[in-house]
Structure 1
Amino acid sequence: MNTGNKLPVVQLERVVRRFNDRPALDGISLTLQAGEIVGLIGRSGAGKSTLIRCLNGLDRPQEGRVEIDGTDITNLSEQALQPIRRRIGMIFQHFNLLSAKTVADNVALPLKIAGQPPAQRRAKVMELLELVGLADKADTYPARLSGGQKQRVGIARALAADPLLLLSDEATSALDPETTQSILQLLQDVNRKLGVTVLMITHEMEVVRQIAHRVLVLDAGRIVEEGPVARVLASPQAETTRSLLRGLSPVLPQDLARQLAPQGEQALIRVDVYGAAARQPLLAIIQSITGLPARLLHGGLNDVQGEPYGRLFLALGTADPKAVQAVVDRLQPETTAIEVLGYVPSDV
C-alpha cells in the first residue's frame, strides 16, 4: 500500500444527506489515503449508494464537507466538477457497457469525451486491455463476452482517465465465485501496479476479507465500526458487524454445545486473537499455568493482508476456579476477547 502522498484522496467531514427529512447519511466522517483498498460494507438501505453519489458529486449533502484530493466539491458547479469526476473511476455491478460498441470503443469512451486524439486513445486502450487480460478481445462486442470478461472491460474503462480513486459498486455480486476471485485478484493487481485508491462498496464481508486493508461498516447512514480488516474480523464491536460476519467466524459445534454445563471436568474457553497475539503459543502458555495439557477443540487462524486473526475454542484440562481465572488473567491482555463458555467432560 502506497501512502507516500500525505494529502488524503477522500476526506468527508460530518456529511449529512436527508431525503424527506430522513437522513440517508447521518454525520459521516471518513478518510481514504492514497493507495488504500477500503471496504465499505452494509446492508441494503444503509446509505452506500448515497455515499457514492456524494463522492462523485452527483448528490450534494445538506451539511458537512466532501473533499477529493484536497478540493472541497460540496458546492462546486457542474462545470467545475467535470475535471474532478474524470479522476474518479466507477465499476458497476451490471457492467454498463454499450452493446453497439466494441470492447476497445467502450474502454476508449472516457478518452474520447476528454478529447484525446485517436492514435493516443488506441495506444492507451491497448495498454489497459493488456493489463486486464483482454488484449485479444479489442474488436469483440460485449454480447460475446462472459460476465467476468465484461467486468474486466468495465475495470479497464474505469482506469482510462488515470483515476485517483476507483469506486467499485458491488462489482462482484453478479458473478460466480470463481469469477469473483479473478476480479478481486485483478483489483489487487491494479492497486499494486498503479497505486490507485480503491473503495469497495459491498454487502459481502468475504469480499472485504480477501482484498481490503481497512473496513468501514455502515448502518442507517452512520459508520458504526471501522478498522483494519483482521482486527474487525477478530473482534467485531457493533451488532451490525457481528450480523454481517455470521458464516465467516467459527461457532461452537452443536455436539460440543450440547455437552456444555455449569460445572464439569475442564473449562472450555473461547479466545479471539489478532496480530501478534495470534502468533503466541497459547496452548503452551496455558499448560505453564495449569500444569496440564490444553487442547484446541475447534476454530483456527486465518490471514488478511499478512495479518493473522482467528477464533479458538480451547479445553483447559482443568476445572479448578483459581487455575481458570489465572488463565483468563494471563491471556486477556494479549487477546481481543476471551470468555469462559462453561465446562465439558475430559474425553471430548
Structure 2
Amino acid sequence: MAGAGTVAGAGSGPGAEVPAVQLDHVVRRFNDRPALDDISLTLGRGEIVGLIGRSGAGKSTLIRCLNGLDRPQAGRVVIDGTDISTLSEQALNPVRRRIGMIFQHFNLLSAKTVAENVALPLKIAGVARAARMKRVMELLDLVGLADKANAYPAQLSGGQKQRIGIARALAPEPLLLLSDEATSALDPETTQQILTLLKDVNRQLGLTILMITHEMEVVRQIAHRVLVLDAGRIVEEGPVAKVLASPQTDTTRSLLRGLSPVLPADLLAQIAPEGDQALIRVDVYGPDARRPLLAGVEAITGQPARLLHGGLNDVQGEPYGRLFLALGTADKDKLAAVVAKLKPETTAIEVLGYVPANV
C-alpha cells in the first residue's frame, strides 16, 4: 500500500520482548455473577489473536478491562509492561492512546469529514494541526481512501466507513488494536477486503490485533491463534489450524459448525456396533496432514482404505483436515493395529463404529 513506509510501527525498539498484553487471573463480577472468571492470557507483539464465544461469554467485559473502561475485582491487566488495573483516570490516558478500537457500527461522527474523524484522537491528544493532518493523509493513503478526505460518512459505503474506522484507530500509533465484531455488519466480499487490510496493517506495522468475534470463519482467515471464551472462562486455545482440526470442547465444536466436515445424515444413520468394515475419523494438522495415511492403513488391513467423507484446508499456510475412512475390514485386531499406528501420526483418531461394505 502506498504511504505505508511513512507510518510508524508499534512493536520495535527497547523492551520489545515485553508482551503487548498480559492478563493474570482476572476476575470481574456483576451482582456476584462472574463475567470474567480467572482469565489469564498473553498476546505477543505482532500477533493476531481471535477471541471467539457466544453472546454473553464475556467478550465485551474483556475488552472493557483491556482498555481500562472497566476494572477487575481481582488479577492484573498489563499493557506493554504497565499494570493498568489500579491506575487513576489521568494515568490511564497515555496507555489508552496506545490501544486502538474498531467497532461493528463504525462510530464515525456524521457531522465531521473523513479527515476530521481520523484526526479526532490526535486533536484530543493536543497534536498540532499541521502534524495531525500530515498523519491523517498518511493513514488515508494506507487504507486506500486518500480521495475521500473531504467526504462525510453518509457518502461512504459500509466497507469505506470501516476503513476510516481503522485509520482513526491507527492515528495515535497504537501498540494494540482491538477489533470488536468489526466485520459483522458487512457483506462477505467487504468482510474479505477488511480482513486483508488488517493483515496488511499487522504485517507492515507489527501491530498486535485482538479480533473479538463470534464468527470462526473470520478467525480462520486472519488469526495466528484462537482463544475460546465460554461463561467467562477460556475453555480452549491454540494455533487456529490445530483447534480447527481437533476441537476439544463442545463450545468450540458448536462454534466451528460448518467449518469442519461432519458425516452426512444418510451415512451417519448406517453406523452400527457391528458390521462389514470399521469406520474411523482421523483429524490431521500440520505435518500430520502431509503423511501418506491411506498407504499405512492398507499395509495393515490388506484392503484399500476408502475415503468416505472429509477434506483438507489450510490456515496461514498450515494444513488441517478431517477424514472419515472405511478400513475394508471388521477384524478387531487389525482395527487395533491401525489405531496404534495412526495415533502418533495424527492429531486425533476415533473409531466411530461399523458400516456395510456397500456404503
| TM-score, normalised with respect to structure 1 | 0.97
Distance 1:262 1:3, change over 3 A: farther
CA distance in 2, matches of 1:191, 1:83: 22
Measure how far apart 1:221 and its partner are.
0.9
- Once residues 284 and 209 of structure 1 are traced to their aligned partners in structure 2, the CA distance between those partners, rounded to angstroms, is 30
Matching residue's letter, 2:124: I
Instruction: Give the conservation status (yes or no) of the 8 Å contact 1:129–1:138.
Output: yes
Match of 1:341 among 334, 341, 352: 352
Choose from 194, 208, 216 the match for 2:227.
216
Deviations 1:148-174 (A, max 9, x none): 110000000000011000000000011
1:72 and 2:86 matched: no
Letter paired with 2:59: K
> In the alignment, which residue of structure 2 is the partner of 1:273?
284
Specify the alignment match of 1:89 in structure 2.
100
8 Å CA contact 1:274, 1:307 repeated in 2 = yes
Which residue is equivalent to 1:25? 36
Cα distance change on mapping 1:3 and 1:127 into 2, 3 Å: closer
Runs of 4+ in 1 over 3 A off after TM superposition: none
TM-aligned CA deviation for residue 3 of structure 1: 9.3
Post-superposition CA distance 1:86-143 (Å, at most 9, x none): 0000001100000011111100111111121222212111111111111111111000
Structure 2 SS opposite 1:259: coil
Contact 1:229 1:304 in 2 (8 A): yes
- Matched residue pairs, number? 347
Q: Which of 111, 129, 152 is the matching residue for 1:118?
A: 129
Q: Partners in 1 of 2:271 and 2:86 — Cα distance? A: 60
**Is this contact kept in 2: 1:42–1:48, CA < 8 A?**
yes
After the TM superposition, which residues 17-166 of structure 1 pair with which residues of structure 2 at under 5 Å, given as runs?
17-166=28-177
Amino acid at match of 2:118: V
User: What is the CA-CA distance between 1:31 and the residue it aligns to?
Assistant: 0.5
SS at match of 1:303: strand
Q: Which runs of 5+ in 1 are unaligned?
A: none
What percent of counterpart residues are identical?
Answer: 81
1:27-81 per-position Cα deviation (integer Å, ceiling 9, x unaligned)? 1111001000001111111111111111111111111111100001111111111
Displacement after TM superposition at 1:260 (Å): 2.2
Cα distance between partner residues in 2 of 1:16 and 1:264: 52
AA of the residue aligned to 2:184? S
Per the alignment, residue 261 of structure 2 pairs with 250
What residue in structure 1 maps to residue 183 of structure 2?
Answer: 172
Greater CA drift, 244-253 or 256-265: 256-265
Work out whether residues 3 and 35 of structure 1, in 8 Å CA contact, stay in contact via their aligned partners in 2: no
Aligned-pair RMSD on alpha carbons? 1.3
Q: 1:3 to 1:121 in 2, by over 3 A?
A: closer
- SS of the aligned residue for 2:221 comes to helix
The letter for the 1-side match of 2:48 is: I
Q: Give the TM-score, by structure 2 length.
A: 0.94
Task: Please state how far the C-alpha of 1:261 moved relative to its aligned partner.
Answer: 2.7
Q: Which residue of 1 aligns with 2:25?
A: 14
Contact 1:3 1:33 in 2 (8 A): no
Cα distance in 1 between the residues matched to 2:147 and 2:158: 16
C-alpha distance after superposition, 1:183-202 (max 9, x if no partner): 11111110000000000001
Alignment correspondent of 2:193 = 182
